[in-house]
Structure 1
Amino acid sequence: MDITPVTRASVSDEVFGQLVTEILAGRLAPGDALPGERELAERFGVNRHAVREALKGVRQAGLVRIAQGGKTRVLDWRVSAGLDALSALAETGAVPPVRMLRDIAEMRRSVAADAARLCAERATPEQRAAVTAAAERYPAATDRPVDATAADLDFWTAVIDGSGNIAYRLGLNTLVAGFGAIGWPVIADLGLFIEYVDRDSHAELARRIAAADPDGAHALATELLGRMVALLAGGVEE
């Protein structure tokens, strides 16, 4: 294990972060036993309470379990972890950034397109108006597509809120965190913001939602969000 002593006053989160990184990066393999609390406290340079709290978080994330005999053993995160591990996985670099971006973009396309369909079916008049207003906030033109990220987040937040699906709303938070963990400059360098500056398509999507056209909203959202997926597809090595 490659552990750095912790010097901050509040340390359990830092210990948690380092342990998660070791597991997701594969330096702690499935089946490996973690050292005991005392040894971890000595190696991190913290007290046992901080280690105990960190291990509690790692267990809750589905990355370790208490095995027979009391040892804490690493699990295979691909089987045991939930979506909340996505941003941590992106930060470790255990999965190549372009592959991670593609996977996030594919999930974003599926979730957001269905949310657009549901929004067209379920949204209240006030929620439809919020989607329309958010679409109007996209910049008409910009030399810096990254400037459209705030408008894009506002738009899709309004759409997903209008869908009435709580799981989709929480999923949006996770996907945004995943993008942020990879880094917006990386995304910009790959030319992935082309979708963000298509003001007309977002206005048309808002119109279809306002007109209660679920099939039309789903089709346009799938095409619009599929642009990022298509750009990423050629750069991923399977």
Structure 2
Amino acid sequence: MSRNSNGQAPDRILRRKLSDQVFERLRDLMASGELAPGAPMPSERDLMERFGVGRPAVREALQHMQSMGLITINHGERSRVNALSADSVLNRVDDVARMLLSSEPDQLDHLKEARRMFECGLVRVATGSATPEDLQDLHALIDRQSACIGDAAQFVTLDIAFHNRIAAITGNPILVATSQSMLRWLFQYHGVLLHWSGKEEVTLTEHRDMADLIGHGDPDAAVRAMQAHLDRSNLLYVHPQGQAAAQV
């Protein structure tokens, strides 16, 4: 192999797929705003002429863009550019995240640890930002949760809504989307365990305490309450391979 004047092997020039190059060009057009959210995509013929490539390269690039959620392809209609948000981006990894959690049981413990750190940070921020409307919403969710004891699925759904509402108080859409994703991934490991745990009233009391502490503006106490709540409730999220040992 020939070497340059420094005695090092020269950098290789890699031949890249045409469809990858078309994809990158289109992605750059979206980033620049030339292809704005909601706008129709150029026709295949226009893209072929613009980039000097054949139809297969254009179609493969468009399929790649659809698989990433960047565009929506409707047969018989012009494809359109999708509006991106933190929630839409994280939704794209839901299936992969669930596969990871199902195939590697240890990842569930890592997720619970990450959620504990994350939600303690959320409740600290929320304690300094909550409005009377925010507090009213939190207490309304607790009342609704109390009214559905015996309906495990609805109880857990409202449990998730309570924690997501705390995230919403931050006003940060990335934090809200991350909270929603974490709880969606945990939900499949909760199931009916909460219903049979006999801890519904404990959960409600803990939620009321957190809402009150947020309202009183005591971030340290709110964080301690969240830590205790998650340390207890995390025992209810069990991977199927460990359910037998967790039934206490």
1:187 lines up with 2:194 in the alignment: no
Residue matched to 1:117: 124
C-alpha distance in 2, partners of 1:98/1:228?
18
Unaligned runs of 5+ in 2: 1-16, 20-55, 71-88, 244-248
Identity over the aligned pairs, expressed in percent? Answer: 18
Normalized against structure 1, the TM-score is what? Answer: 0.55
Q: Which structure has the bigger radius of gyration?
A: 2
Unaligned runs of 5+ in 1: 1-34, 38-46, 62-81
C-alpha distance in 2, partners of 1:108/1:94?
14
1:142 lines up with 2:130 in the alignment: no
Asked whether the 8 Å contact 1:87–1:174 carries over to 2, the reply is: yes
134 and 233 in structure 1: CA distance in 2 versus 1, 3 angstrom threshold: closer
Greater relative contact order structure (CA < 8 Å, 6+ sep) = 1
> Cα RMSD between the aligned structures?
3.8
2:145 aligns to what SS in structure 1?
coil
Residue matched to 1:217: 222
Q: State the shift of 1:121 in Å.
A: 0.9
1:55 lines up with 2:76 in the alignment: no
**What amino acid is aligned across from residue 53 of structure 1 in structure 2?**
L
Residue matched to 1:88: 95
95 and 53 in structure 1: CA distance in 2 versus 1, 3 angstrom threshold: farther
Q: State the shift of 1:94 in Å.
A: 7.3
**What amino acid is aligned across from residue 212 of structure 1 in structure 2?**
G
1:203 lines up with 2:208 in the alignment: yes
* Alignment: residue pair count: 169
Normalized against structure 2, the TM-score is what? Answer: 0.54
Asked whether the 8 Å contact 1:122–1:162 carries over to 2, the reply is: yes
Give the alignment of 1:9-20 within 5 angstroms: none
Q: State the shift of 1:91 in Å.
A: 4.0
C-alpha distance in 1, partners of 2:102/2:162?
29
